[in-house]
Structure 1
Amino acid sequence: MSVKTIISTSVAIIATGAMFACVAPFASADSAQTSAVVSSRSFPKASSVKKNLFAESTSTSVDENSKWGGIETLDVPQTESQGEKEAAAAAAAQKAADEAAAAQSAAAAAASRSEQRASIPQVDLGKMTGTGTGAELASFSLKFQGYPYVAGGNTPAGWDCSGFVQYVFSQFGISLPRTSGAQATVGTPVASLADAKPGDILANGTHAAIYIGNGQVMNAMNPVQGTAVSDVSVFGGAGYSIRRVM
């Protein structure tokens, strides 16, 4: 082999080795650069962003003294929907109807009371005061059959049991206590129902009545039955006093 050939071969080998030596560093540098770019461009999780936005929205506050250019003082008219208007009109109509019915009922009740007062028999108190008999008082009491029962009342417009007895006796000039318990102590005691006479008072702590004979009494019973004749069973089997005032 000649010297020229040996030199050419050596130069080729050296050039080839230099080329591979240069390529390796470039590849290594490019890989390092690519890795650095990927790492620097990573993003935080979306959940952390949403969490911060939610916290910001819920922490918002407004100063009550803030000024908004006068908009906070605007007088905005309130309007009603067609349904609301119809409901209000229906309620007003119902209220008017109820008031009219109540007024009519009150007028009818007043007229009834006037008729009852007009139907009360006129009694000649001059003849009955001090001279009337028990029989006359019992007969007089029967004129009030059908009159209304009103708790606490003592006039023909409405009375309870003792109020009725008190009223009837007052028409004969006799003043009686207001309650049935007190009326059970007036006058003279009568031994038994067999000895009772018309005009006697039958009374206990819960009821009072006027005896009219034959085991019957005239009395104001209750709001349903009003003032009517009944037998002595109206006392419900309870004991009662028999008192004679006339």
Structure 2
Amino acid sequence: MVTPNVYAADTTTETAATVSSARKFPKQNIAIRRLTAEATTTDVTGDWGGIETLNVPETQSPAEQQAAAVAKQQAEAQAAAQAQQQAELAAKPIEMPASKDAESLVKFALQFQGYPYVAGGNTPAGWDCSGFTQYVYTHFGINMPHSSYAQPSMGTLVSNPMPGDLMVGPGHAGIYIGNGMMIHAMNPVDGTKVTAVFPGMAFYRVLQ
């Protein structure tokens, strides 16, 4: 009984010099299955609207409200007093010097006590420190520059101060009136005032 082959037949042919072998395999079709990954994206485009900002006013306690009202009244009263003072000073006549000596210069300068301080100013309506000294010395024939750094060049440095001398310190200027006192435009709060001589100030003889 012959059993049929269920696999490829193998035939061999022999000769004197060559041995050859041939095999036959059943044809196989290999199907290559490619798996493609499906990517699904969902684009959500939507208008979520703006962000609403609520401005909630701050609340104050009764004590805070009362303190704020008192502070406001004080500020208004101070402003009214300053306005009245400035009006009175503006209406006040300025007494011009009778002579050009140091005594007359001191007298002329002292009449401006209480006049307002205004940065950059150089008139009785308001002046800063060098604007005040410039204004005073101008009435005595001295063409003083409006600068506390430049004004010393208009005089001679002295160690024995006398009334009428220019006083200059770091960023400040005034006029010596004697007895260790000076008159100068101090600041917006104090205005033009007579005080003790500031430490570290130098004296310059302007009137010769």
Question: For this structure pair, what is the TM-score category when the shorter chain's length is used for normalisation?
Answer: 0.5 to 0.7
User: Out of 108, 116, 119, which is 2:89 matched to?
Assistant: 116
Deviations 1:32-54 (A, max 9, x none): xxxxxxxxxxxxxxxxxxxxxxx
User: Out of 88, 101, 117, which is 1:133 matched to?
Assistant: 101
Higher helix share: 1
User: Out of 216, 220, 223, which is 2:181 matched to?
Assistant: 216
Pairs aligned (count) = 139
**d(CA) in 1 for partners of 2:134 and 2:153?**
14
For the 8 Å contact 1:161–1:207, the answer to whether it is kept is yes
* Structure possessing the higher radius of gyration over alpha carbons: 1
User: Out of 198, 205, 208, which is 1:244 matched to?
Assistant: 205
User: Following superposition of structure 1 onto structure 2, how do residues 48-197 of structure 1 map, counting pairs within 5 Å?
Assistant: 112-123=85-96, 127-128=98-99, 132-190=100-158, 192=159, 195-197=160-162
Q: What stretches of structure 2 of length at least 5 have no aligned partner?
A: 1-41, 47-77
**d(CA) in 2 for partners of 1:59 and 1:149?**
65
Q: 1:82 is matched with which residue?
A: none
Counterpart secondary structure, 2:115: coil
**d(CA) in 1 for partners of 2:114 and 2:106?**
16
For the 8 Å contact 1:197–1:211, the answer to whether it is kept is yes
Deviations 1:93-145 (A, max 9, x none): xxxxxxxxxxxx99986665342122142315xx43xxx11111011111111
Counterpart secondary structure, 2:133: helix
Amino acid at match of 1:204: G
**d(CA) in 1 for partners of 2:132 and 2:142?**
13
**d(CA) in 2 for partners of 1:136 and 1:59?**
87
Q: What stretches of structure 1 of length at least 5 have no aligned partner?
A: 1-54, 61-104
For the 8 Å contact 2:86–2:116, the answer to whether it is kept is no
- Moved segments of 4+, more than 3 Å: 105-114
**d(CA) in 1 for partners of 2:85 and 2:197?**
30
Summarize the Cα distance change of 1:59–1:154 in structure 2 as closer, same or farther, 3 Å threshold.
Answer: closer
Higher strand share: 2
Counterpart secondary structure, 2:117: coil
Deviations 1:6-48 (A, max 9, x none): xxxxxxxxxxxxxxxxxxxxxxxxxxxxxxxxxxxxxxxxxxx
Q: Does 1:232 align with 2:197?
A: yes
* RMSD (Å) for aligned C-alpha atoms: 3.1
